Structure 1
Amino acid sequence: MAHTNVPRSTRRTRRRRAIAVTAAGLVIGLGAAGTALAVPESGGIAGTPCSAAARACVDLASDQAWILDDGAVSYGPVRVNHGGQGTETPTGDFEVYDKDQDHHSAEFDGAPMPWSVFFAPGGVAFHEGDRNSTSAGCVKLKGKDATVFFGKLDQGDRVEVR
């Protein structure tokens, strides 16, 4: 499907409508000119643990994250770090609910959290941070990756953490 001059929200609506579930439980997407594209039986995106409904995907076991678009990886995998023991990053399906380019933590003495994209309760976000140390539940990215996630994710986008 051509994306020239089509707003991203319209493309997402079209993408959601182009996905159908067959009686066998396979997810089929419609590609160019209406050709069927089989998606893995799990309904997931190849190379990630997340579904075609996700816009961002995090794999805590491999310390990786991706941006997904139209049922395919559009950015990543990128290396991440996440919460440690006692401050684990929550797993599940979430939606982006806020963004703040120059956020400072109210919980941790004003610690900088640049390029924050908030997606889970308790202020859990993607943000730029030291990937050599665990977080208090956030998903930390290097600077360039954090700016890409900030630029590509919008309120309401689905984030899957596995």
Structure 2
Amino acid sequence: MDTPTAATPDRQRTRRIAALALGITAVAGVALGGTAVAASPAALAAWSQPLVPGTPCSITASACVDLDTQRSWLITDGKVVRGPVPIASGGQGRETPVGHSLRVYRKEATHVSQEFLGADGRPAQMPWSVFFEDGGIAFHGGDPERASAGCIHLDDADARAYFEHLQIGDQVQVVSAAAEAAARSSAR
């Protein structure tokens, strides 16, 4: 039988992170342009893991996206293997979803959008698509200077590298570096 004792440092940190959950909503809301983001169990788990050096993502990620700087990285065993690379995320009203435990669920080298038209009026090409969130959100080839409809645009060479590197089930983290830093420093 366990007897009540002082909480271990790990338990204290976990409790502080959990207590921070309500406060992080405001921090994340400011950093994400007014979109409130509650601290989910996945976020709490990610914040308990070390960061991959040079990124705002934890060592459990295979791909990291920083919405603040519009950059992304590929990661293997907690080390950057590609990046940072420039990206374009979702534009106003079609923001890229934020998440700490998004998962690659489908890959399609020659995907064509069923929702959006290209400049030529035909269905938009989405080469090297790696889908990681419901609603057809994917990494794919596109103009990294033009906002997407929620996807992550990469130049063609980077899109192909992401397609080849990421596997079904790999973890993708899409975050605001400022909100992540605030959450981690407040949790200490």
- Indicate whether the TM-score tops 0.5: yes
Determine the C-alpha separation between the residues in 2 that align with 1:133 and 1:73: 25
1:86 aligns with 2:93: yes
Q: What is the match of residue 46 of structure 1?
A: 53
The match for 1:98 among 80, 92, 106 is 106
With a CA cutoff of 8 Å and minimum separation of 6, indicate the structure with the bigger relative contact order: 2
Gaps of at least 5 residues in structure 1 are 1-22, 27-39
TM, length-normalised to structure 1: 0.74
Aligned ranges 1:137-148 → 2 under 5 Å: 137-148=150-161
Q: How does 1:48-67 map to 2 (within 5 A)?
A: 48-67=55-74
Residue 119 (structure 1) aligned to one of 103, 126, 132: 132
CA–CA separation in structure 2 for the residues paired with 1:49 and 1:68: 12
Q: Which letter maps to 1:96?
A: V
d(CA) in 2 for partners of 1:24 and 1:143? 46
Instruction: Please show how residues 17-36 of structure 1 align to structure 2 within 5 Å.
Output: 24-25=9-10
**Aligned-partner Cα distance in 2 for 1:132–1:53:** 28
Structure 1 distance, partners of 2:9, 2:58, is: 17
2-side partners of 1:101 and 1:119: how far apart?
14
Report the count of equivalent residues: 127
Relative to its length, the structure with more helix (as a share) is 2
Moved over 4 A (4+): 23-26
- Please identify the structure whose Cα radius of gyration is greater: 2
- Which of 161, 166, 171 pairs up with 1:158? 171
1:37 counterpart residue number: none
Partners of 2:141 and 2:51 in 1: CA distance: 27
| Equivalent residue number for residue 16 of structure 1 | none
Quote the offset at 1:129 in angstroms: 0.2
Unaligned runs of 5+ in 2: 1-7, 14-46, 118-122, 176-188
Q: Distance in 2 between matches of 1:24 and 1:85?
A: 42
CA deviations on 1:100-135 (whole Å, 9 max, x unpaired) are 000000011420000000001100000000122110
> CA–CA distance in 2 between the matches of 1:42 and 1:106?
38
RMSD across aligned C-alpha pairs, in angstroms?
A: 1.7
Give CA-to-partner distance per residue, 1:63-82, whole Å, 9 cap, x none: 10000001111111100001
